[in-house]
Structure 1
Amino acid sequence: MMNQFKEWNIDPNALTKVSLVMLDEMVTRKEKWDQYKKAKDHWSLFTLLSLGLFLLFGAQVIRSVGGAIGPNLLSILVGNVFLLLLILLFAVGLVQVKLFTKKVTKAEDEFESLRIECIDRSSELWEEDQGWKYRDDVFTYMKKNHDVNLYYK
């Protein structure tokens, strides 16, 4: 944890142990949130692609049977393993998108609650007069390198 903050070129006494732990946890939560957002985006793309392929190949199958799909729909689907696979992939994609949507929301809530707590407790985290001099440097670093805004709620 301490190695990550050595690159700031800030006096180690400027940050309290509590503020170091809080900032490290905030960076960890932000990375987790970003990771879940990226996974959700990938699964969304996968789901759209599987739906597109299903519609494309489904239209070809319908054209090949002459457009009469009403009573024969189930037999057409069972007879075409590729269409069943595309339906399965689409269903898996939908479930994964829903799962990662919940994870993204939870990770965002956890990150935001810690960020707001850090803003509210900033007077406790930088008690000494010297600490207040470095506070702006720390906040700027967090915004620039980790996209964490600690200036306001």
Structure 2
Amino acid sequence: MEQPIKMLDGRTDEATKQMLQGVVKRKRKFDSLRKKHLGVMSLTIGLTAIFLLYLYKTIIQPYSYSFYEVFSVFVSQSANLYFLIVTLGLFGLMNLLKEKREKAEKEYHALRCEIIDKSKDLWKKEEEWKNRHLVFEMMKKQYDINLFHENK
């Protein structure tokens, strides 16, 4: 368990601490997948731009008088096929990471909203209820998790 969450001693019970730890874990997973998706997306766009520029300069421009010649030259060079496969593979990986990122985001926001909805049950005692804003502020400051409002 995270040290700041452990130090909440009297402000929360053990079950609430586990829920806070779970939302931190899901937030980190979401952030990690978002960074990976952004990196692969940048790589895919860059590689596609390079590939298209390469095709234009080496195949399309010199052989533009005939589609058959363009196709023949493209197929005759095996590097073009490998470059195309790598580009399409990166595109597929980008889409896969996008789906994983969206799933992780839904899980993270669902748990975050659950904590917000159940806050009256999680901080039942009057003293705990008055101090819950300290827990929310700590989560916002330490982990950038907003528990004050359900909106993203």
TM-score (norm 1): 0.88
Structure-to-structure mapping, 1:74-153, within 5 angstroms: 74-153=71-150
- Which sections of structure 1, spanning at least 5 residues, go unmatched? none
Count matched residues. Answer: 150
Instruction: Please give the secondary structure, in 1, of the residue aligned with 2:68.
Output: coil
Q: Is 1:47–1:89's contact at 8 Å kept on the other side of the alignment?
A: no
Deviation at 1:84, TM superposition (A): 2.1
Asked if structure 2 preserves the Cα contact closer than 8 Å seen for 1:19 and 1:125, the reply is yes
Shift of 1:15: 1.0
Gaps of 5+ in 2: none
Identity rate, percent: 29
Q: CA deviation at 1:138?
A: 1.0
**Amino acid of the structure 1 residue aligned with 2:54:** F
Which digits, 9 at most, give the CA deviation of each residue in 1:87-142, with x for residues without a partner? 11210111011111111111111111111110010011112222223311110111
Tell me if 1:45 matches 2:52.
Answer: no
With the length of structure 2 as denominator, give the TM-score of the two structures: 0.88
Question: Which amino acid is the alignment partner of residue 81 of structure 2?
Answer: L
Cα distance change, pair 59–89 in 1 and its aligned pair in 2 (3 A)? same
Contact 2:11/2:135 (CA < 8 Å) preserved in 1?
Answer: no
* More displaced stretch, 61-70 vs 87-96: 61-70
CA shift, 1:72, in A, is: 2.6
Deviation, 1:36, is 0.9
1:97–1:55 Cα change, 3 Å? same
